[in-house]
Amino acid sequence: MSISYRNTNTGDIATFDEPSARLDALENWERIQDGQPLPPVVNDGVLSRPTLTAPGVHDLSYTGPATNEALREESPAAAEGAETLATTEGGESTAPQRPARNASKAEWQDYAQQVETDPEAQSDIDGLTRDELAAKYGGDR
């Protein structure tokens, strides 16, 4: 004989061979007898809470560009800026100078923090060795 439990918040049903002391202790789980009709799901407010939405994903009122091409047409300077290096008024590059392969770990960490754009990869920089940093960020000289 199996014993079924129903989550009153989500409607999920779990079936076990023996009674579950854990589910018996939780308020939002109830035992279902064989053949018993399922009670309605109770709205506790958790499932009906508003969620954060990204423009154009769930927010249908968004009227901005719908494609990458339309975004580039709307803001061509931003699209070009992603590919160009920053320069001073004299035309000199202000891009970070890559350290030598045998530079200190601190120098490689500083350089990696400046050139890495991925926040997740930036958080990993402190855990890398000097040789790993040099290999990943171009220490071929």
pTM (2 decimals)? 0.37
User: How high does pLDDT run on average in the chain?
Assistant: 74
Phi then psi dihedrals of residue 7, to 5 deg: -80, 120
68-122 pLDDT, tens digit per residue, is 677 677 766 655 544 444 555 565 666 788 888 888 888 988 888 888 888 788 8
